[in-house]
Structure 1
Amino acid sequence: MNAKRDFLIFAAVLIALPLFFLNQTFLLSIFGQVLIFSIAALGLNILIGFAGQISIGHASFIAVGAYLSAILTKNYHIPFAVTVFLSGGLAGLFGLVLGFPALRLKGFYLAIATMAFVVMIEQLLGSWSYVGGHIGMRDIPNFDLFGYVLKSDLGKYYVIAFCTFFLFLFGFNFLKSRTGRALKAIRESEFAARSAGVNVAKYKLTAFVISAIYAGIAGALYAHTINYIAPTDFGLGVSINLLAMIVVGGLASFSGNFIGAILMIAMPFLFSRSNLPLSVIFGILLVIVVLFFPRGLGYGVQLLNLKYFGIPAAWLRRKIRVSSVVGGKEMYVNLPEGKMHYEIGGNPTGKPLFMVHGNFGSWRWFQPVMSRLEKTPFKGVAIDLLGFGDSEKPEREISIPQYGQELAGFIDVFKEVKANLIGHSLGGAVIWDYAVNHPDRVNRILLIDPAPADGLVTPEEYYPALALYRNNRDLLKTALAGTIPSGDPDKLLDKLVNDAMVMDPRAFTENARALERYNYLADLHKIQCPVLIVYGEKDLLITDKLLAETLKRLPNARVKALPGIGHSVNVENPDLAVQIINEFFGG
């Protein structure tokens, strides 16, 4: 998805949320605690969810951070802006010490070792009179930012919110880095990671240190928010609650840390006046999660987002697009099946080149090429196949022969004796159909990464993903970006995605089915005109092996590989595409 957009929304929510509750200081305090424990939960998630190492002693790191910051600010008057870093550093040092057993222990044995550590820390703090023993430390100073003391709940909230945003942003980039990838490799298989050259010991220790730093900072924030701490605040129960947060929220899920913190921290306050025991509430919640969201509520929300949350936006986008098109476009051809939209670009007096786009496409995939044809002997006539772009979406069969029949009807309007055709991806399959049924009406054919003449099979497990594209713009954008891996010099990707979103909803899956149901190999001998097939060497969809049988059956064809190009030279390198057009069509 779009990480930059998500973090901007995250920042906006953090800033705006307390403004709706300015007179409810208790709620501001709850919001602050939710954020604090989401920081600690993220630290634990880095260790368990992303690195695959177990820990039931994370409350000890929170205690270390909380007590160090409280001691330094209360007894030595060091500003919180300094102690928060020292708290994270000392907790990280303890994490390093605890991380060494992880090099030899796994599973339950490591869990027991970390559990012993949290019990030990709680008992040591309880017996240490300097920090109040079991009574704890009172009157811990408020946040002191180099002389500016924040006493209000709103001020405290914004300090916590700033730290939360920064730590989540750092965690996101950390997990996207080489170190993050190494941690995920270790989680999946230590043996495989070690075989690939990953220093398993080094990265395990790194995970423990980073995880402990997050917990230490959360502890410092907690101490100066509540202004009172005691050893019982950081006992084994807190460690279990942190573990429950990331399990219920979702392991290896960023949003899951917030969901878990909300449920485990805020929900007890919400039900504090009810007669229903919290143990019953949490028990029911755990049963629901295990049965219906085994990977956590964070993944459940993500799945709902992929399947359903985008439906209203997708529906509105289609409605707005349709209402703006019906009266506003003049470049249409009326076919029996519906109105087909097209655009013309290049040399107004040049020879027409009929351009047929691919799946999820529109005429715009040829816009970069057409804009560069002005000084050539050609003009591009780029169509939106029925069901795509600004063309009508009739209720008829979706098949390659149907598309071929509609293309024939369109070309007939231009009264070309012999047409020059350019097809891209699925458009290549459409041109196969047109050419074998009207071989005498074709002059030359240029195919860009075309579907093979014997069809293109999509694995059955891909169809659920194709269905998700129908209502999820982010997923669709990611998919289309993969077809132009070498670049987008004309910055068209967002417009291409917008065009794809208004495609006939049935076509998101039915086009893939259509590509499986044709085979023109036996008829390719009818195509006597010159055929040039170009494909990008970086194309993961169409390869030379897929095209081999097609090339054998064509009597007058040649193929050209394009180094450094993916699936769409017409978008990735339109200058090269124009050069190929000039050379092939005789410009």
Structure 2
Amino acid sequence: MRKTSMYISLGVLALALAIAPFVISNAFYLDLVIRISMNAIVVLGLNLLVGFAGQISLGHAGFLGIGAYASAVLPTHFGWHPLPAMLAGAVICGLLAAAIARPIFRLKGHYLAMATLGLGILVNIVLRNESQLTGGPDGMPLPTMGLFGLELSSDRHWYWVVAIFLVVSVWASLNLIDSPFGRALRALHGSEVASRVVGVNVVRYKVTIFTMSAVFASIMGSVMAHYVGMVTPGFADFFHSIELITMVVVGGMASVWGSLLGAALLTALPQALATFEGWETVIFGAILMLFMIFLPKGIVPTLASKFGKKGD
């Protein structure tokens, strides 16, 4: 029954994404949907780490920045094709995450938050200072990306690429959390001591989910950079990390569909508030405060518990 419900929900998402470009005629709204989808994929990976495994990360934009710059630096300076450059960025992020996860996850609470925050800030500083490779604070342009002989030069081309990425990411996340690996993550979130008692290798699961989440971010950093056509250190900025974690919290931690809703809301809301010139930041902050006061578990889990359903 649960599997059937999962595939129905996934089918509805795929159908909505398939219909959307034929319904949306305005280029601005198509661009907004693409950005929402890209953010949703990053937030899905982050939610696996934060929501399901209970491990905080305040520097996740650092991995996104590494992926973005790999897709800029390797083709520009070393003549790589954009697709292998994207894969190289994912491998670099995966290896970096696996290397630092063991010492970082020995920390708890505020100390863990500060360690991940420091990682993101360090990546941002390197990207700003290595100007010969990265272009410094001004960033650098990216070459046009081709896929299977097709040059991805229009928003509609990018829409289909990102839509496929999103459906696959949601499918993978839903299957992951329903697997023994996902159940181990939930146990880890509940109690590390109890998890060890029942035979869960706590360190291995922490390292694995942190690495997977970093790879998610790196791949979408590359996609975002190619879509925009320009990469700057802002990709790895501290505020970008906070924006991503806020999407997780607002949508609902430990909820796949909450990740999508949080990404949609926090990507679209600033655009909708742009008409309130000079007040948009105040109104945006007030809306977030109201969400946290009245929906402390996030939108999807709160509504799901109210109507007696699970929020995965």
Aligned to 2:216: 214
Aligned to 2:259: 257
Aligned to 1:162: 164
Aligned to 1:16: 19
**CA separation of 1:174 and 1:79: change in aligned 2, threshold 3 A:** farther
Q: Does 1:26 align with 2:24?
A: no
* Count of matched residue pairs: 306
Counterpart of 2:203, as a letter, is A
Match for residue 236 of structure 1 among 235, 238, 245: 238
Counterpart of 2:201, as a letter, is N
Alignment of 1:98-497 (within 5 A): 98-129=100-131, 130-138=133-141, 140-275=142-277, 277-303=279-305, 306=307
The TM-score, its normalising length taken from structure 2, stands at 0.92
Displacement of 1:82: 3.5
Alignment of 1:488-527 (within 5 A): none
Aligned to 1:493: none
Q: Confirm or deny: 8 A CA contact 2:105 2:112 kept in the other structure.
A: no
**CA separation of 1:73 and 1:14: change in aligned 2, threshold 3 A:** farther
Counterpart of 1:134, as a letter, is P
Report the structure number with the largest CA radius of gyration. 1
Counterparts of 1:143 and 1:158 in 2: how far apart (Å)?
14
Counterparts of 2:13 and 2:76 in 1: how far apart (Å)?
33
Q: Confirm or deny: 8 A CA contact 1:80 1:145 kept in the other structure.
A: no
Counterparts of 2:277 and 2:305 in 1: how far apart (Å)?
34
Deviates more, 1:81-90 or 1:181-190: 81-90
Counterpart of 1:250, as a letter, is G
**CA separation of 1:16 and 1:72: change in aligned 2, threshold 3 A:** farther
Counterpart of 1:69, as a letter, is S
Counterparts of 1:237 and 1:57 in 2: how far apart (Å)?
9
The TM-score, its normalising length taken from structure 1, stands at 0.50
Counterparts of 1:200 and 1:229 in 2: how far apart (Å)?
36
Flag structure 1 segments of 5+ consecutive residues without an equivalent: 307-464, 469-473, 475-587
Deviations 1:53-96 (A, max 9, x none): 11101000000111112223444554444333333222222211
Deviations 1:392-416 (A, max 9, x none): xxxxxxxxxxxxxxxxxxxxxxxxx
Give 3-state SS (helix, strand or coil) of 1:113's partner: helix
Deviations 1:457-502 (A, max 9, x none): xxxxxxxx6xx8xxxxx9xxxxxxxxxxxxxxxxxxxxxxxxxxxx
Displacement of 1:301: 4.2
Q: Confirm or deny: 8 A CA contact 1:79 1:146 kept in the other structure.
A: no
Structure having the larger proportion of residues in helix: 2
Counterpart of 1:295, as a letter, is K
Counterparts of 1:83 and 1:303 in 2: how far apart (Å)?
43
Aligned to 2:91: 89
Aligned to 1:53: 55
What percentage of aligned pairs have identical amino acids?
Answer: 35
Q: Confirm or deny: 8 A CA contact 1:102 1:204 kept in the other structure.
A: no
Give 3-state SS (helix, strand or coil) of 2:146's partner: strand
